[in-house]
Amino acid sequence: MTRRGDRRPRPRPAPTLPGLKCLVLCVDYNFQRRTGRLDMPPGNCCDMQGCIRHFLGIDPDVRIIETFAGGVRDTCYERAADGWRVSYVP
C-alpha cells in the first residue's frame, strides 16, 4: 500500500502479444544470425505455433527461436528442411 502522494513508480504487469498466449518481458531478434529470443516471467510458456508465427513476421528466414521463462532457457525451436523441430530443456 502506498501513501497518498507517493510518486514511486508502480510495477507494471508484463504485456502479452497476440498469438503467444503468455506474458512477455522481452522479444529480441538478431538479423545476422537469424535467431530470436522470447523472455517470459517465471511459470509462463508460449504457444509454439504463435511464437513461430511471431518471429516469421519479423523475418521470414528465421532459423532458431529460444524461449526463456524466469531467465531460464525453456525451449528451442529450430527450422529444418522438413519443418520446425522443438527441443526442451529439463
What pLDDT digit, counting tens, does each position of 30-75 carry?
999 999 999 999 999 999 999 999 999 999 999 999 999 999 999 9
Is 89's pLDDT higher than 90?
no
User: Given the C-alpha cell 502506498, which residue does it identify?
Assistant: 2
Total tally of structural domains belonging to the chain: 1
Domain membership of residue 3 (yes or no) is: no
44 within some domain: yes
Q: Has residue 2 been placed in a domain?
A: no
pLDDT for 8 equals 74
Q: For 6, what's the count of Cα atoms within 13 Å in the CB-facing half-sphere?
A: 7
Instruction: Report if residue 7 sits inside a domain.
Output: no
Residue 8 lies in a domain: no
Tell whether 70 is covered by a domain. Answer: yes
- What per-residue string of b and e applies to 9-20 under the rule 16 or more CB within 10 Å gives b? eeeeeeeeeeeb
Q: Is residue 4 part of a domain?
A: no
Could you list the beta-strand ranges (E) of the chain. Answer: 26-30, 35-40, 64-69, 72-80, 83-88
Q: Which domain holds residue 56?
A: 26-88
Inside any domain, residue 71: yes
C-beta atoms surrounding 7 within 10 Å: 5
